[in-house]
Amino acid sequence: MNIFGWMNDQLLRMQWLSDLVASGVQALGLDPASRIGGSVQFFLYDVVKIFILLSVLIFAISYVQSYFPPERTRRILGGRSGIGANILGALLGTITPFCSCSSIPLFIGFTAAGLPLGVTFSFLISSPLVDMASVILLASIFSWPIALAYVGVGLVVAVVGGTIIGKLGMEDQVEGFVRNVPVTDADAVLTKRDRIGFARDQVRDIVEKVWPYVLIGVGIGAAIHNWVPAQTISALLGQDKWWAVPVATLVGIPMYADIFGTLPIAEALVGKGVGLGTVLAFMMAVTALSLPSLIMLKRVVKMPLLVAFTGLVTVGILTIGFTFNAITHLFL
């Protein structure tokens, strides 16, 4: 095994942790191959692995994020237009807040600063969908090709969605108060200690927000992995079922979670034979179109713009889902 394979197995997949948990389960008198033992192993291994990776990744990414406060991000995007600006907005979204509800205040600030509406929406779509922490966690559960493919399609949805919204000329569909929010151009001067403190606080705040969803997601994943027969899952959401992608998308929209909570469910579903596109559609619907975030967005945009945003992202998710189901064999 080469050094990169070893690093992937031991640092990302944490094979050592899997072996340790399996030994612990056996020490309790449970067989990891049994339903109960397998459920306990799946739950403990995934919970510990996700929180270790989550803490390390959020700290590192938040430290980088401290160099891109909203004021600097606005200046980077300011004065730009065209698809290049949408691409830049989507890329900046990958190093900013980890959920759509946290992105909406930044969306308000960008709009108040006069940034093009399409660019702000590229940012708004990308921010919860393809943050770097979720990408590395995705690689730890599946593989780097799948993680990178997820990044690619997520950025495409953000860029295309934002570009179309910009072309629709719906600037008048933003609530009036948003344009009047006071904007400051002053950057806070942060020392190294300040940046470390900011990163540490981000770890604490985000873990406090997501831990219930991680536990629930891992619990559901453990149940699917060990208790639901593959034939049942395949009959409902099999790769050959045309309705699998739309159903997965519709199921994901009402949920208020983030990608960290959906990953264990996705892992279990793929293990039961669900198509990769179906799983990606579910994850994207939860992160980009969750009902609570849409309710928050409705407070700052009018209904026609909200419908356009929701419709464009939904079409993008469905297209990606069907496409990836057709080419799953290239990844698994």
Q: Which residues contact 281 (CB under 8 A, 6 or more apart)?
A: 245, 248, 249, 252, 317, 318, 320, 321
Residue 194 in this model has a pLDDT that exceeds 80: yes
Question: Please, how many CA atoms are within 13 Å of residue 327, restricted to the half-sphere of its CB?
Answer: 11
Range of the structural domain that residue 11 is part of: 7-19+32-174+193-330
Residue 332 in this model has a pLDDT that exceeds 70: no
Assigned domain for 309 exists: yes
Instruction: Give the residue-averaged pLDDT of 223-242.
Output: 81
Assigned domain for 182 exists: no
Residue 186 in this model has a pLDDT that exceeds 60: no
Q: What are phi and psi of 275, to 5 degrees?
A: -60, 145
Assigned domain for 179 exists: no
pLDDT at 5: 72
Residue 326 in this model has a pLDDT that exceeds 80: yes
Q: State the DSSP code for 11.
A: I
Assigned domain for 1 exists: no
Residue 175 in this model has a pLDDT that exceeds 70: yes
Assigned domain for 181 exists: no
Assigned domain for 139 exists: yes
pLDDT at 258: 65
- Percent of the chain exceeding pLDDT 70 equals 91
pLDDT at 98: 53
- Per-residue pLDDT band for 298 (boundaries 50, 70, 90) equals confident
- Per-residue pLDDT band for 239 (boundaries 50, 70, 90) equals confident
Assigned domain for 185 exists: no
The mean-pLDDT minimum among 45-49, 196-200, 210-214 falls in 210-214
Residue 63 in this model has a pLDDT that exceeds 70: yes
What are the distances in angstroms from CA 54 to CA 211, 237, 251, 321?
Answer: 10, 29, 25, 26
Assigned domain for 220 exists: yes
Top pLDDT among 225 and 332 is at 225
On average, the pLDDT of the chain sits at 82
**How far does Cα 1 stand from its chain's mean position?**
31
Q: pLDDT tens-digit profile of 126-173?
A: 887 787 777 887 888 788 888 888 888 889 999 999 999 999 988 888
Residue 1 in this model has a pLDDT that exceeds 60: no
Domain count, the chain: 1
- Per-residue pLDDT band for 240 (boundaries 50, 70, 90) equals confident
Q: Residue 80 corresponds to which amino acid?
A: R
pLDDT at 24: 92
Q: pLDDT tens-digit profile of 243-277?
A: 899 998 888 877 766 677 788 888 888 888 888 88
Q: Which residue has the tokens 């990958």?
A: 94
Q: pLDDT tens-digit profile of 113-125?
A: 778 889 889 988 8
Q: pLDDT tens-digit profile of 23-54?
A: 999 998 888 888 899 899 989 998 898 888 88
d(CA 126, CA 134): 12
Q: pLDDT tens-digit profile of 270-297?
A: 888 888 889 888 888 888 887 777 888 8
Q: Which two tokens stand for residue 207?
A: 């873990």
Q: Which residue has the tokens 């619990």?
A: 219
pTM of the model: 0.78
What are the distances in angstroms from CA 114 to CA 74, 94, 149, 160?
Answer: 9, 21, 33, 21
The mean-pLDDT minimum among 97-111, 154-168, 220-234 falls in 97-111
pLDDT at 20: 92
Instruction: Give the residue-averaged pLDDT of 300-321.
Output: 90
pLDDT at 318: 92
Nearest to residue 150, comparing CAs of 94, 218, 81? 94
- Per-residue pLDDT band for 96 (boundaries 50, 70, 90) equals low
